[in-house]
Amino acid sequence: MAILCYARQSVERENSISCETQLEYCKTVIKPDERDEKILTIVDQGCSGGNIDRDGFQKLMKLVRRGKVSKVIVYKLDRISRSLNDFVNILQEFKAYKVEFVSSQESFDTSSPYGELIVKILMIFAEFERTSIINRITQAYAHRSEMGFYMGGRQPYGFELIPTVINNIKTKKLNPIPSETEQIRYIFEVYAWESVSLRRLLNLLVTENRKPLNGSDWTTSKLSALLKNPIYVKADSDVYEYYEKHGTQIITDLSMFTGEYGAQLYGHTKHKSDAPDWSDMKLVLLTHDGIVDSDIWIKCQKKLEKNKQVGNSISNRTSWLAGKIICEMCGHTMTTIKGKINKSGEIRRYFNCTGKSHKKSCPGTKVSIYAEDLENMVYDCISAKLSELKDTKRISANNSTAGVNELKLKLKAAEKAEKQLVDTMLSGGFNDDLLALANQKAAQLKRDKVALYDRIEELKSKDDETDVADNLARSWKIANYNRKKEVAMIMIHQIIISENGDAKMLWKI
Ligand SMILES: [Zn+2]
């Protein structure tokens, strides 16, 4: 087993650090108890970090894969790769071969807890990159086939089915019946009121002599089925989020949820106790216009769920902030417990100091921190942090666009000078001394060009970082319970709750 020091230099530049110096730095982080181990050095001279197609680096990976290396040391992280995806893949491969990775300048050490954390963050960033690729594919798929197909089932109230052809496939399209859509809208709007129960809604319809067009009577179960149906909603990102939270598989891409079209839920429904399990269900956008605004529709869903007393969904049991909440008075963690059913029939979770409940060691008076309030607050804080990151990246990307342009101009000038020089040399107008000088000048111009190419590449990679930051902020908007938990684990060190109920966020990054 050997310790391997790796150095890379794109081109010799006045302010760029030579491979020799890089290796010196690498050796400074070799621990005293490692001094007896074999030290290998590998150098890539004149190679860019934009890809991993470098002789020295490939040799390094070969040694790693043969199990010859216990540790890789570099001067700086970007010596390995400037591409995030490559970097993460390499780190994962190092991990698979139990190779530690240390950077001398960034005090980055995969064997330390902090290093592990950084690897996790990088992996999440890379994961978001992959997710966005998957999303793009899904989107194309939705456009081509899934969007607009009525997936069958009983003809929903308020619509007629008319034959249509979508992408050369004969199918059926839902067409709203205007006289009935008015009644549907009315039903949703009334039920969205806080004080109106299904029973009261039914009584109201009976009093006002409103009936379905076919002359039958409304019943509470008919109303409940109607209110639950996404066929009526103008599906937007909130509706997407609502279904995502329930674990429904959403066929149509988020970008299509523009608040215009209705949606259809299809597939099997399993019923575990009294809570619906929608993980086997699929949601697809249809081509007909929705009838009910998403905020009213979602209000109705929440009321219907409350009626069912959904008791076993994850978010009702625990919090994605579990383990992060600390009582300032005694330093113990605060855990979620469920309160009693309140007047409006809901059960609220709140954070409770374990120092107080289990060990009776907390001197504080009892504070009730409602889990939902705290979660919402932290959610907003993370949103703000992510958009801050996005903006910083955007500014640097904008700067880099201008920078790339300027460098391209310089590159053009260098190319022109090179051509002129070559032309003069070919015309034979030099004696030997001048020719030697001209050759020197030509070599210098060539080096300048390579340096400029490298710098342009470096600036371009900043654009990619902006995309990642964008995706991260976007994904947070639709993050489900597990993703929130993951992000909280990485970003938040602790949240300290003071005696008067104030929350103090301590970030990890
Ligand atoms: Zn306490």
Q: How far is the CA of 328 from the centre of ligand 1 (A)?
A: 7
What is the rounded distance in angstroms from the CA atom of residue 111 to the CA atom of residue 107? 11
pTM of the model: 0.36
Cβ(240)–Cβ(478) below 8 Å: yes
Distance 315 CA to ligand 1 centre (A): 24
CA of 358 from ligand 1 middle (Å) equals 10
How far does residue 319's CA lie from ligand 1's centre (Å)?
A: 18
Q: Hey, what long-range contacts does 449-453 have (CB within 8 A, 24 or more apart)?
A: 449/411, 449/414, 449/415, 449/418, 450/10, 450/11, 450/46, 451/10, 451/11, 451/13, 452/407, 452/410, 452/411, 452/414, 453/48, 453/411
Tell me the pLDDT of the chain (509 aa) as tens digits.
899 999 998 765 555 678 888 898 898 888 888 878 899 999 998 887 777 889 999 999 999 999 999 999 998 877 887 666 777 788 889 988 999 988 887 666 777 766 666 666 666 655 554 554 444 444 444 443 445 566 666 778 899 888 877 656 667 778 888 888 999 999 999 999 877 888 889 988 988 888 887 778 898 888 998 999 999 999 988 899 888 888 888 877 777 888 888 998 876 554 443 445 566 678 888 888 899 999 999 999 988 887 654 444 455 567 889 888 888 888 888 888 877 766 666 677 888 887 776 667 788 766 678 888 888 888 888 888 777 766 765 666 666 666 667 777 777 777 777 777 666 666 655 566 666 666 777 777 777 777 777 777 776 666 666 666 676 677 777 777 877 887 787 778 889 888 888 888 887 65
**HEC-encoded secondary structure of 395-444:** HHHHHHHHHHHHHHHHHHHHHHHHHHHHHHHHCCCCCHHHHHHHHHHHHH
Question: Ligand 1 centre and the CA of 503: distance in Å?
Answer: 14
Q: Ligand 1 centroid vs 326 CA: distance in angstroms?
A: 8
Residue 344: the pLDDT is: 61
Distance 323 CA to ligand 1 centre (A): 14
Kindly tell me the number of DSSP H helices and DSSP E strands found in the chain: 14, 18
What pLDDT does 281 receive?
76
Q: Which domains does the chain have, with CATH numbers?
A: 2-129 (3.40.50.1390), 159-312 (3.90.1750), 316-509 (1.10.287)
Distance (Å) from CA 334 to ligand 1 centroid: 8
Distance 378 CA to ligand 1 centre (A): 20
Which residues 6+ apart lie within 8 Å of 425 measured at CB? 435, 438, 442
State in Å: Cα 324 to ligand 1 middle. Answer: 14
Residues whose CB is less than 8 angstroms from the CB of residue 455 and which lie 6 or more positions away in sequence, other chains included = 407
- What is the pLDDT, as a whole number, of residue 140? 43
CB 467, CB 350: distance < 8 Å: no
Please give the distance, rounded to the nearest whole angstrom, from the Cα atom of residue 344 to the centre of ligand 1: 30
Classify burial at 468, counting beta carbons within 10 Å of its beta carbon; exposed 0-12, middle 13-18, buried 19 or more. buried
pLDDT reported for residue 10: 76
Tokens 């993951």 locate to 486
Alpha carbon distance 488, 379 (integer Å): 9
CA of 332 to the centre of ligand 1 (A): 6
CA–CA distance, 269 with 151 (Å, rounded to integer): 15
Which of 235, 229, 277 is CA-nearest to residue 253? Answer: 235
Is the Cβ–Cβ distance between 231 and 263 less than 8 Å? Answer: yes
Q: What is the pLDDT of residue 138?
A: 43
Buried b (16+ CB within 10 A) or exposed e, 395-418: eebeebeebbeebeeebeebeebb
The answer to whether the CB of 121 falls within 8 A of the CB of 92 is no
CA 353 to centroid of ligand 1, rounded, Å: 5
pLDDT of 142 reads: 45
User: What is the model's pLDDT at position 485?
Assistant: 81
d(CA 67, CA 81): 21
- Helix (H/G/I), strand (E/B), else coil: 272: strand
Q: How many angstroms separate the alpha carbon of residue 331 from the centre of ligand 1?
A: 6
Q: Distance, CA 367 to ligand 1 centroid (Å)?
A: 9
Sheet holding 69-74, edge to edge: 38-45, 2-9, 69-74, 100-103, 108-109
How many whole angstroms from 498 Cα to the centroid of ligand 1? 9
Which amino acid would we find at residue 338?
A: K
DSSP annotation string for 82-116: S-HHHHHHHHHHHHHTT-EEEETTTTEETTSHHHH
Cα-to-centroid distance, 381 and ligand 1 (Å): 24
Distance 364 CA to ligand 1 centre (A): 6
Per-residue CA distances from 4 to 32, 65, 114, 484 (Å): 16, 13, 22, 38
Q: How open is the CA angle 50-397-22, to the nearest 5 degrees?
A: 40
In angstroms, the CA 480 to CA 354 distance is 27
